[in-house]
Structure 1
């Protein structure tokens, strides 16, 4: 089969796997690994070595570098300030504990030489963003725990690669009677090369972005080129130091508060999704099932040691003196899947050691893939139920963030609170905030679009935005700001009287179209076109109230409309599962039996 056709099929299969993961609420890694096995060792349709030849491992290395940079670009030090000690211990003391335990277990279970066992122990230290990120999206642990796992996964990748290189250099030096000096020299070279180049490229890229040396349409390409340059030059100076370089480069950029990285991060996230999907399929297709079957039951014992001895001990030692409770520690101890970096590095060094005639080197790849498959499959299938049982998951994102704490926002939020829907009202008016507090509503004093809010606004359990400010421009800014966070279909705005008249077709307002923001920027229009902010506020001031009505089989939506045609405006609905559905102007929504409708009842005349 032609290479171009095979690449197209890989992309299509990756899309199908991601879609199945979305529909089933299971990690995409499970479907990607299964697809790779079916396409490779089972059917023989896909042969990555024949397809790419000598370009396979350079391609995998570059893709891993891009994935690692995208992950490190999210490492804002403010997120982990309270648990910085735990993360530092995980990537130092914890890595050492895992290394020692896995090394000993490998030596005793598989009768490998100590040198190969030590190398394999270093390989299994890494977890990595390629497996942690998709799993966190499914498990959805508390933000604090998710940040710890994300930081550990990203920072441990270059550290694990560094350990593997040092051990490999030591083995090669022993074979050449060069002593341990070669290994120590390689360690220093990797640290110097990766650190200097990573920080230098990060600083230069930050300066170029801050001083607007590049137009916006070239910034994504420029950052991608800088990442590839830093990775390849660092690897040229010191083998396998490129991962350290791109990690430090991403962390440097992420912590420069004056840089606008949202567009770059969005581009890198899309690119990373494609690369992760393709890499898992390709590397799974390379697996030799015969070599795996020859290992017998010993890999299962090794997996049990890693899951129930090495990882819990690592977490316990790393969390000493922290404010993490036993439930937090239990979830952290449960999640530590191995991913792309372990697979790629094991394949690379296994080939080198086999060429040097080192005994046991041929077992590195099948043993590494057993660990990857075992940890990914077991933890993907069990992490979500374990997290829910422990009670450390974020609440479902059914809640609503209100832009504004004015009378309209307070009335809607109060009625939603009665229906057990989480709400949060944000406003820069202290008078509005004070009145909302007196009504018993949770509030955030300040603009939800501010830098202050980005560090302190807790969005856990919130999945929609209702922009209810009397200022249309402020509503538009809020919708644009939270569109990436919640999604375009989950940001809504109540417009002023002028805008509502314009959208309903009033002739004397049509010429003012040029003075309003584009429809795709200002959020979905709430409620009826004739129910503007001014009319809503006027009705409330005249004594209108919000009421909740439950639909039944005998009193359905048609009956509700017939009964309340001239008496009320229905605003939103709550499904039996607790999901909030907004009434959007000019869109049909047909509530069903069991739904609760919240409506604005006009005052009695």
Structure 2
């Protein structure tokens, strides 16, 4: 006799879903694959395979309200990242993809479902309408792994977020048409309902976004209440729109998010950080819960036809949609290929399919129950195929961003320039920022990429190119600026790659002058290595040199040779190309074949430290000043007139 699956109480089940979601996210991070893949596998294992998670019993009548509200929060978080300026190049393509491109996609999918699975035309049309959605629940995690260039990334994000509410509206229109066929209404009524849904969603979303933006702009909410208020307002606005007109809630929260993201003098960074964490929790839970509802018996009833539908959607309808939507655009052929390949389906497709399938069964459509397993076949198929292949395809096509291993540097002073040149010699990208024009001009004379301005400005937020940048170095002679930079970028870059120099205030006996450790990041080179010390050494002729450690010349040997020379080890690079900084928080133990970069005073240059030691010049091969000014488009005195120094 077959053993019954273990029965878990609700508390244990919720805890199991949370632990499984965490394990999937961690595993995805370790193997660099989208977490959705592991979340689906986990949900199927805990649900239909082991029977440990039974969502319908666990949530009861609250299952679909929970799913709907969770999707609304996820959509709102995604729409908060949509800046209208991103549409400058991609606007027409996004518009085409969510309008007639979606109709092309729906039509081809409808035909495939009808002929390959044998479902009636009305139900096939409804399924085709639902399957136009992609959504941030699957697009954003996939983009985090695939890392295509900015144009592709912005296009897929805009399409995924905008198409979700529009796809749901499209499905409502088709459903109302089916109801009219059954004598429950007419085409006129269906059109009126569709129009009302768009009007309600747009108006409520715009008004809610504007009013909440005023609260944030005028600081009428204390900072500690902003995240809670945002969550409460999003839930309330979503519920209000749903009560005014069913299925308008997703459009409402999307419009609200886009309005807030583009409203002048409204800062949503802290809210976005909170929403990102909440979205991670919701996405992890939702995928496990929905995957646990799959019934393999229904999947078997679909036969090979379901795989045929998947093939049509992946290889035919999506590419044709992208081809026609991008005609005459700035996209290259290779960029179009990746756009045509990436289009996974996610939470919204699963939730909306389940909702309409239930309604259609109540209307007498017996085959409606097949829509849910068919939807999950498409979801699992697109997620698995694209998770495994999108990153290699992006690399093969040459449309992927370079690995984010470069450094954004606060300061373009002599210390910052010397370290930047050393990093560049090791094939690491650098970007120097400074408000002193003389420093910027000197950096450009050395052919170093620069940003003239402060990293703390709105202009930097909008225009700073961080492609290939994965860390921050605070090398300004202003300690407070370094710490402010750390505070700004500590959530954007990994903790071990956000570093700044020590300052004299760090040793102040009065605790009121000492910067809190949580605002400092990693301390570069050591507690006693300040900007003043480095600048003094460089002014006296110190150079950054690279030394390759060997089996006969260890790091301890290097330390012994330079014990009395005031040489400062800066960073090391292992044979795999990974860079490690010397910091006050951790001791490094460089091994053989590691390359050590250090600042060596001029007095020690004549010493024979190692045959493998060579200087990393920060000023060699500099062009003539006039030629460099022309090459780097340096401004004239008239251009600089009126510029202010900090």
Note whether the superposition's TM-score is higher than 0.5: yes
3-state SS, counterpart of residue 486 of structure 1: coil
What does 1:322-341 correspond to in 2, within 5 Å? Answer: 322-341=329-348
CA deviation profile, 1:119-175 (whole Å, cap 9, x unmatched): 000011000000001101111111221111011000000001001111111111211
Distance 1:244 1:344 in 2: 16
Match of 2:639 in 1: none
Select 2:370's aligned residue among 356, 363, 366.
363
Match of 1:307 in 2: 314
2:235 is aligned with 1:237: no
2:578 is aligned with 1:579: yes
CA deviation profile, 1:254-289 (whole Å, cap 9, x unmatched): 111311211111111111101111110111011110
Select 1:563's aligned residue among 561, 564, 575.
561
Q: CA deviation at 1:427?
A: 0.9
Select 1:74's aligned residue among 71, 74, 81.
81
Q: CA deviation at 1:205?
A: 0.8
CA deviation profile, 1:304-343 (whole Å, cap 9, x unmatched): 1111111111111111121111111111111000000010
CA deviation profile, 1:499-550 (whole Å, cap 9, x unmatched): 36x1xxxxxx423x31232122122211133322111111111111110111
Distance 1:370 1:72 in 2: 28
What does 1:76-95 correspond to in 2, within 5 Å? Answer: 76-95=83-102
Match of 1:277 in 2: 284
Is the deviation greater in 535-544 or in 338-347? 535-544
Q: Is the 8 A contact 1:198 1:249 kept in 2?
A: yes
Cα distance change, pair 160–491 in 1 and its aligned pair in 2 (3 A) = same
Match of 2:643 in 1: none
Cα distance change, pair 461–205 in 1 and its aligned pair in 2 (3 A) = same
Match of 2:588 in 1: 589
Cα distance change, pair 36–177 in 1 and its aligned pair in 2 (3 A) = closer
Cα distance change, pair 577–112 in 1 and its aligned pair in 2 (3 A) = same
CA deviation profile, 1:213-252 (whole Å, cap 9, x unmatched): 2211111111111111111111111111100000000000
3-state SS, counterpart of residue 428 of structure 2: coil
Select 1:317's aligned residue among 315, 324, 329.
324
Select 2:175's aligned residue among 168, 175, 178.
168
Distance 1:553 1:164 in 2: 68
Match of 1:414 in 2: 421
Match of 2:536 in 1: 538
Distance 1:228 1:266 in 2: 18
Q: CA deviation at 1:182?
A: 2.2
Q: Is the 8 A contact 1:470 1:495 kept in 2?
A: no
User: TM-score under structure 2 normalisation?
Assistant: 0.90
Q: Is the 8 A contact 1:170 1:182 kept in 2?
A: no
* Equivalenced residues, count: 596
Q: CA deviation at 1:80?
A: 2.9
Select 1:291's aligned residue among 285, 295, 298.
298
2:500 is aligned with 1:493: yes
Q: Is the 8 A contact 1:529 1:586 kept in 2?
A: no
Q: Is the 8 A contact 1:421 1:578 kept in 2?
A: no
Distance 2:596 2:541 in 1: 20
Match of 1:551 in 2: 549
Match of 2:190 in 1: 183
Distance 1:317 1:101 in 2: 14
Distance 1:551 1:300 in 2: 56
Distance 1:134 1:2 in 2: 31
What does 1:139-218 correspond to in 2, within 5 Å? Answer: 139-176=146-183, 178-218=185-225
Match of 1:17 in 2: 24
Q: Is the 8 A contact 2:227 2:274 kept in 1?
A: yes
Unaligned stretches of 5+ in structure 2? 1-7, 605-646
Match of 2:632 in 1: none
Match of 2:484 in 1: 477
Distance 2:456 2:223 in 1: 22
Match of 1:505 in 2: none
CA deviation profile, 1:360-396 (whole Å, cap 9, x unmatched): 2121101111110110011111111111111111111
Distance 1:472 1:399 in 2: 22
Is the deviation greater in 519-528 or in 535-544? 519-528
2:455 is aligned with 1:457: no
CA deviation profile, 1:543-568 (whole Å, cap 9, x unmatched): 11110111122222222222222221
Distance 2:404 2:184 in 1: 61
Unaligned stretches of 5+ in structure 1? 503-508
Distance 2:561 2:347 in 1: 61
CA deviation profile, 1:49-68 (whole Å, cap 9, x unmatched): 11111111111111111111
Q: Is the 8 A contact 1:113 1:359 kept in 2?
A: no
